[in-house]
Amino acid sequence: MGDKQSGIRLGIVGARGYVGAELITLVAGHPRFELAFVSSRELAGQKVADHNAAYRGELCYSAPSNAELPGLGADAVVLALPNGKAADCVAAFDAAGVDPVIIDLSADYRFDDGWYYGLPELTRSRYRGARRISNPGCYATAMQLAIAPMLDVLAGPVQCFGVSGYSGAGTTPSDKNDPGKLRDNLMPYALVNHVHEREVTRHLGHPVEFMPHVAPHFRGITLTANLHLSRPMTHDEVYARYRERFAGEPLVRVRDEAPWVSRIAGAHHVDIGGFALSEDGRRLVVVATEDNLLKGAATQALQNLNLAFGLEEMAGISTGND
């Protein structure tokens, strides 16, 4: 696969946040990608290595304007910005006639048919060399993987109860990432019409009702999905469906027991399990856990980058017993 001398140059816009830091760590261990620039207004001028132990280079954080981004020589650019901020960056590349692979981590292009929606385990077969890639939301990834194997036997909307660590609320101070206010607490928010509810409903083509909450732990999502079925099913039949659907997928692990969020922090995969059926076999409850900063964001971005450059999809991603 080559060495860093034949590197693919990657820029990260908005790298001060938690996901940006995870991306830097992943790129530092990747056999082909190397950092072209890492933007952060707050950290501009400081060495990336001083803030990220995995990175050994001399690169410093910078604060380029949008108009300056196309001239920085990146083969790929990851936008790790708050919702609503991506379009100005994309417009700057279009105006300059520069066409790197762009991966947007926000929700801005998840509803745009002109962008490839990059949830590889479900959409890999639809990739056609797109250079504009929308990375799915963290909750949306867990929901879709938990529901997809049962799509053809669903009756009515799927209800999803989600609990995330407070890193999911980002670094901008708010009640949802204040450890003091979260202590001994479970904080509900956006209980109807959450962006991930709309995202999953769109991409699965089936209505989903989502109720998110924030908990005191730092990272990791627990997603419990309640599925009404059009016909009775047995536990063995359900379990076999999930095992078959995700056979050969190194970042989806199907287990009989319910997964714990405490075991997913720092891991690149999604755990799916805890399959429970009502007595009549027409109601199924499934639990999924994932690290919201990794498979819910940075790891998935790296999968999409590998796909876009024709590399092995798991390059730079540990698929061992994380």
Q: Which of 60, 89, 138, 160 is the catalytic position? A: 138
DSSP E strands in 231-299: the ranges are 252-254, 270-277, 283-290
Question: Left, alpha or beta for 97 (phi > 0: left; psi -120 to 50: alpha)?
Answer: left
Nearest to 84 by CA among 177, 168, 195: 195
Name the residue with tokens 């279009």: 94
Do 271 and 263 meet the contact criterion of CB atoms below 8 Å apart?
yes
The alpha carbon of residue 148 and the mean position of all alpha carbons in its chain are separated, in whole angstroms, by 17
Residue 60 a catalytic site member: no
In our burial notation (b when 16+ CB lie closer than 10 A, e otherwise), range 289-299 reads bbbbbbbbbbb
Do 113 and 132 meet the contact criterion of CB atoms below 8 Å apart?
no
Report the distance separating Cα 137 and Cα 289, nearest Å: 14
Q: What is the dihedral of CA 278, 280, 281, 287, to 10 degrees?
A: -10
Name the residue with tokens 């879709």: 144
DSSP 41-92: TTTTTSBGGGT-TT--S--B-B---GGGGGGG--SEEEE---TT-HHHHHHH
The alpha carbon of residue 202 and the mean position of all alpha carbons in its chain are separated, in whole angstroms, by 17
Do 52 and 22 meet the contact criterion of CB atoms below 8 Å apart?
no
**Residue 221, φ and ψ in degrees, nearest 5:** -115, 135
Residues classed as catalytic: 138
